[in-house]
Structure 1
Amino acid sequence: MAIGNVYVIAAIAIIGGALFGFDISSQSAILGTWQYKCYFNQGGPWTTHDECSGPTASTQGGISASMPGGSWVGALASGFISDALGRKSSIMIACVIWLIGCILVCASQNIGMLVVGRFINGLCVGIASAQVPVYVSEIAPPSKRGRLVGAQQWAITWGILIMFYISYGCSFIDGTAAFRVPWGLQMVPALCLLFGMMFLPESPRWLARKDRWEECHAVLTLVHGKGDPNSNFVRKEFQEIKDMHEFERNNADASFLELVKPNMIWRTHIGVFTQIWSQLTGMNVMMLYIVYVFAMAGLTGNNLLVSSSIQYVINVVLTIPALLYVDRWGRRPTLLLGALGMMTFMFANAGLMPSYGSYAGPNGVGNVPEASWSLSGPPSKAVIACTYLFVACYAPTWGPVSWIYPPELFPLRIRGKAVALTTSSNWIFNFALSYFVPPAFVNIQWKVYVVFGVFNAAMFLHVLFAFPETAGKTLEEVEQMFTDPLGPKYIGTPAWKTHKKFHDARLLETGQIDPEKMAQFEHDEGGSRSGSETRGEKVDAPATA
């Protein structure tokens, strides 16, 4: 018997996000410990633990980057796997891959084996990170889609937090068990996800694409109709899926090449840059290499690890407001405010470090070359505070919305491959940053903050002028927004004039309004006013199928 509660479905599916979070903090918490540095030491002979410098900056960059490198490959492959076998099956395949990677990582005898294991783990994360948002977005009702898809980011934050404290606790163990135990425990959430997915329904829109209409209608009835196949919302959504499927079958193919055609390239670039910008915020750098940042601020030993963990707590707690209200806030305001806040605190750190700090020498702080700048006193506390505030800006904004937004942009026929492409752009930039940031801290020191501050300024402008609002619309309505004569390049409706549509979606889902009456509230081609506008809420021009 399949589970029909959308919250339970999302809660199980988003465990795929926790896998990514586990990987991030299993590195960030471990790479500063003497057990890790001594076992994988490349700094020459040592007699005491303090003399272990661990892998070189470039090697550590390669170790960290191997996972996002695998994720890039996995994300690209996920489109083919998902379209052929289904959203549900692709996530389950990812779990099996993760288990294989964890075995290799846990048993690593050298850096080469560690890199291979992390690359295989990355294949899983790439598949899951691309297809979990697709699966949840295709099964969630419009008024809850942002909340449910964004919960993947919350799962990531929980994975980071849980694994960080597991790794911190294990750091008190002598010998290689200090890092082998947490690396082995990463298999637990994958096993939970693998068995949990067995009880979930397949995506109704994927079933429709395979002409399995009875199953499609049954899933809609189970998830959205509370067992009533004749509910208003089920009837409307089933008809929209049929209409859009027929249109797609008669008018378009479903290859990667379609994503760069004139009628699709605009939204492809929006989806790709949503994921690119989410990396260029600098957040994952702060997560993965936070021990370097706080070492530069004068923290050492347990104080360093505990202080680093506070930002993970902030990340978990402040993701919650987005899950509750992102469908009311809308996507555009959330992204704009997040970019503005992160830019502010990046530039603040870029000003504090050269003004009050000094170069720490070629060996860095505490024999860590990447900790190349040294501060003390109140300025160091200000850097720590700005780092926490930066995380507080990212957690309710770009964190969840970067996963919510791309699946909403694309039609069913190409959604699996499109989200695979957009997610792969996330991972290729994650790979680049993971690899190059440690040497960047060595070579340009505090100027790393200037680089990310500029990126945040650029993303603010890009969102302002190019990213349309999708909140509250069904996936079929979003498609109409792009295919309507006024829509494809926003010549008639600029991105900054698009608005969320929340209340009408809620009325329809709860049965308070009939689909036929709903049509009276929508804009027609002549631009008549909608019911939402008469109530004071703006909506977009395209009509509902």
Structure 2
Amino acid sequence: MYTVGNVYVIAAVAVVGGALFGFDISSMSAIISTEPYLCYFNQGPLYKDTDGKCSGPTASVQGGITASMPGGSFLGALISGYISDILGRKKAIQTGSVIWCVGSIIVCASQNIGMLVAGRFINGLAVGICSAQVPVYITEIAPPSKRGRLVGCQQWAITWGILIMFYISYGSSSVSGSAAFRIPWGLQMIPAIFLFVALLFLPESPRWLAKKDRWEEAINVLALVHAHGDTDSPFVHKEMSEIREVVEFERANSDVTYFELFKPKMINRTHIGIFTQIWSQLTGMNVMMYYITYIFTMAGLGNSVLLPSSIQYIINVIMTVPALLFVDKWGRRPTMLVGAFLMMVWLFVNAGLLATYGVVPYKGQFNNAAESISITGAPAKAVIACTYLFVASYAPTWGPVSWIYPPELYPLRVRGKAVALATSANWAFNFALAYFVPPAFANIRWEVYIVFGVFCAAMFLHVLFLFPETAQKPLEEVEYIFDDSTPGSFKYLGTPAWRTAVDKNTGRLERGEIDLEDKLGPRVSHGDAPERVAEEPKN
């Protein structure tokens, strides 16, 4: 069978797994305020007012419906490490695409809230598997100088999924009856079918193949992706020798379990990987995505809320592009620090506007108890503007970096399970926040923005003091950041995060102008076996 060797094509296909999450976000956010959805899943009085508007699910039940998907994703992310280690990175992603189709069929055919929750939970299993293993797959194929750009495409695919499905849902909202939400929920199977088929033409991770003693296949993949099929390339032989060394070390040690990640030599990077994903949720971005119609309805946009909501999705797509182009040059740390600071500012401004100018709506003004504040005039426009600026701050910073950063922290032998654990933390907090926000808007109103603003301030300080720079560094050098021992020494020192910077020598290393050992010094083997990654030569 024909196999694609272009690393950009490989990444473009793989990140469709990220688009599945985007489809879920906007298919829910665009539908929860529409009359067909509110009436079909109605739990309150049949009609809330004389206009014949259905009240829909209660705030807590709507939170549960929304949260069922990230609840499934939490479990999916945890089991993805085992699936990936047994079946391979590529087949793990294909497994996720099959599960997504099953969940989408159930969601599309939902007859009641219980069936809807069950289908969304199954969809979540698929999203958890794909979101954890797509970054691992790309990281193990891409060279360091392109790694951030290619893994960051996962976030760009999410933004495209959000935008495309939002307009499908927006167009379907004019259809009468339950078809208004069944059409978009059914169409979301299409990208999963494409993903499954297209992956048949992509290579497996050479590192996973090596772990399974499929050495000839591993050499062929390296040659195909990095040397235009030349198995005699010096680069291919050098990288294979490094992979072989790591695999032999792994076999000399016990099989990796999740407990391995909490041992003293690994706990620091485990905590950083987990908190990268946790903080990406505590920015409040996915809250903005899921419940943007609530926010804009409270800002006085009324029945025209869907179209203005789509503007933020367009901003999300466009503003992710700078990160794809420059995140390897900017570095991970500055990108996260700037993003946290700017998001904190917009959240606090929104809190101040709603606290000062917002009023409790009169009975029957809004359809949902979560729409608990009414603000009009210039302050309402300022709230909308700050919401757009918040999205524009998240898109080129925490959005892509939260997927790029964790796979770079770990050595090969633990990477599959480590990234799965970090991603499960993302979905655990996604679940909690999706369930928390509707009741929070109903009960504490504008203080919700204060909560997320404080989280952004905390993440700024956390990154400043504890998150090291990994941009453009060979994965072995990342190992030296966490274990900065001098040759012959077994004492763990660790490099302070604020002393790490973007590697300026990576381009010279790839061109063969400097040798890896000249750059790093003699290799030290203690604790974990460092993973060396020889870079593809410039053509």
* Both proteins in one fold, TM over 0.5: yes
Alpha carbons 2:74, 2:425 under 8 Å: kept:
yes
Cα separation, partners in 2 of 1:49 and 1:79, compared to 1, 3 Å: farther
Question: How far apart are 1:366 and its partner, in Å?
Answer: 1.9
Shift of 1:295: 1.0
Q: Which residue of 2 aligns with 1:355?
A: 356
Match of 2:200 in 1: 198
What are the within-5 Å matches in structure 2 for residues 70-89 of structure 1? Answer: 70-89=72-91
Q: In the aligned structure 2, how far is the partner of 1:417 from the partner of 1:74?
A: 12
**Separation of aligned partners in 2, 1:429 and 1:232:** 46
- Distance across 1 between alignment mates of 2:532 and 2:190: 46
1:257-268 equivalent positions in 2, closer than 5 A: 257-268=259-270
CA distance in 1, matches of 2:396, 2:490: 29
Q: SS state of the match for residue 473, structure 2?
A: coil
- How many angstroms apart in 2 are the aligned matches of 1:455 and 1:469? 22
Residue 109 of structure 1 deviates from its aligned partner by: 0.5
The Cα of 1:267 is off from its aligned counterpart by: 0.5
| Residue number in structure 2 paired with 1:223 | 225
Deviates more, 1:399-408 or 1:43-52: 43-52
User: Which residue of structure 2 aligns with residue 538 of structure 1?
Assistant: none
CA 1:378–1:68: 2 relative to 1, 3 Å: same
What residue number does 2:434 align with?
434
Query: CA–CA distance in 1 between the matches of 2:181 and 2:491?
Result: 51
- SS where residue 44 of structure 1 aligns? coil
User: 2:320 — aligned with what?
Assistant: 319
Amino acid at match of 1:311: Q
What residue is the counterpart of 1:397 in the other structure?
397
Aligned-partner Cα distance in 2 for 1:237–1:273: 31
TM-score (norm 1): 0.92
Q: Once structures 1 and 2 are overlaid, which stretch shifts more, 491-500 or 162-171?
A: 491-500
What percent identity do the matched residue pairs reach?
67
2:366 alignment counterpart:
366
2:224 alignment partner, SS class: helix
Q: Is the contact made by 2:239 and 2:533 (CA closer than 8 Å) also made in structure 1?
A: no
Change (3 A) 1:427 1:49: farther
Following TM superposition, by how much is the alpha carbon of 1:359 offset from its aligned partner in structure 2, in angstroms? 1.9
Q: Which amino acid aligns with 1:279?
A: Q
Residues 109 and 14 (structure 1 numbering): CA distance in 2 closer, same or farther, change over 3 Å?
A: same
Work out the CA distance in 1 between the residues paired with 2:206 and 2:428: 31
1:254 matched residue in structure 2: 256
Is the aligned partner of 1:513 residue 2:515? Answer: no
User: Which residue among 123, 144, 161 is the counterpart of 1:142?
Assistant: 144
8 Å Cα contact 1:22-1:159 kept in structure 2: yes
Aligned partners of 2:482 and 2:495 also within 8 Å: no
Give ranges in structure 1 of 5+ residues lacking alignment.
527-541
Tell me, in whole angstroms, the C-alpha distance in 1 between the residues paired with 2:364 and 2:252. Answer: 63
Match 1:180 to one of 170, 179, 182: 182
Partners of 2:358 and 2:373 within 8 A in 1? yes
Aligned to 1:37: 38
- Partners of 1:365 and 1:372 within 8 A in 2: no
In the alignment, residue 369 of structure 2 is paired with which amino acid? P
SS across alignment from 1:434: helix
**Matches for 1:464-503 after TM superposition, within 5 Å:** 464-485=464-485, 491-502=493-504
Deviation at 1:473, TM superposition (A): 1.6
Distance 1:127 1:385, change over 3 A: same
The answer on whether the counterparts of 1:37 and 1:55 sit within 8 Å (CA) in structure 2 is yes
Distance 1:364 1:242 in 2: 68
Task: Pick from 278, 286, 289 the counterpart of residue 288 of structure 2.
Answer: 286
Kindly indicate whether the alpha-carbon contact (under 8 Å) linking 1:256 and 1:417 is maintained by their aligned counterparts in 2.
yes
The separation in 1 between residues aligned to 2:159 and 2:294, in whole angstroms, is 20
Offset, 1:411:
1.4
CA RMSD of aligned residues (A): 2.2
Note if 1:342 corresponds to 2:340. no
Return the alpha-carbon distance in structure 2 between the equivalents of residues 101 and 48 of structure 1.
37
- CA–CA distance in structure 2, aligned partners of residues 329 and 364 of structure 1: 50
Report the 3-state secondary structure (helix = DSSP H, G, I; strand = E; otherwise coil) of the residue aligned with 2:252.
helix
* C-alpha distance in 2 between matches for 1:488 and 1:364: 69
Structure 2 distance, partners of 1:333, 1:364, is 47
Matched, 1:92 2:94: yes
Aligned equivalent of 1:296: 298
Which residue in the other structure is 2:460 paired with? Answer: 460
CA distance in 2, matches of 1:60, 1:29: 14
1:406: which partner in 2?
Answer: 406
Corresponding residue of 1:166? 168
The 3 A distance-change label for structure 1 pair 375 and 86 is same
- For 1:270, the aligned partner's letter is I
CA contact under 8 A between 2:482 and 2:494: conserved in structure 1?
A: no
TM-superposed deviation, 1:519: 3.1
Deviation at 1:52, TM superposition (A): 0.5
Structure-2 change in CA distance of 1:365 and 1:343 (3 Å): farther
How many residues align? The count is 525
- Distance between the aligned counterparts of 1:488 and 1:129, measured in 2? 36
Q: Among 148, 153, 156, which residue is 1:154 paired with?
A: 156
CA distance in 2, matches of 1:245, 1:49: 68
1:530 maps to which residue? none
Q: Aligned-pair distance for 1:491? A: 4.2
Q: What is the CA-CA distance between 1:477 and the residue it aligns to?
A: 3.0
Deviations 1:399-453 (A, max 9, x none): 0000011111111111111111100000010000000100000000000000000
Q: Distance in 1 between matches of 2:122 and 2:474?
A: 36
Distance 1:240 1:514 in 2: 19
Counterpart residue number, 2:537 = none
Contact 1:360-1:372 within 8 A present in 2 as well: yes
Q: For the structure 1 residues 415 and 431, does the alpha-carbon distance in structure 2 shift closer, same or farther, using more than 3 Å as the test? A: same
Cα displacement (A) at 1:488 = 11
Query: How far 1:207 sits from its partner (Å)?
Result: 1.0
Q: Is the 8 A contact 1:352 1:383 kept in 2?
A: yes
Change (3 A) 1:506 1:229: farther
Q: CA deviation at 1:514?
A: 5.6
Question: 1:179 aligns to what SS in structure 2?
Answer: helix
- CA shift, 1:316, in A, is 0.1
What code does the residue aligned with 1:326 have? V
Q: Is the CA contact (8 Å cut-off) linking 2:44 and 2:55 kept in structure 1?
A: yes
Q: For 1:157-209, what per-residue CA distance to the aligned partner results, in whole angstroms no more than 9, with x for missing partners?
A: 00000000110010011111100000000000001100000000000111121
Task: State the Cα deviation string for residues 77-105 of structure 1 (Å, max 9, x = none).
Answer: 10100001100111111111011101000
CA distance in 2, matches of 1:249, 1:480: 22
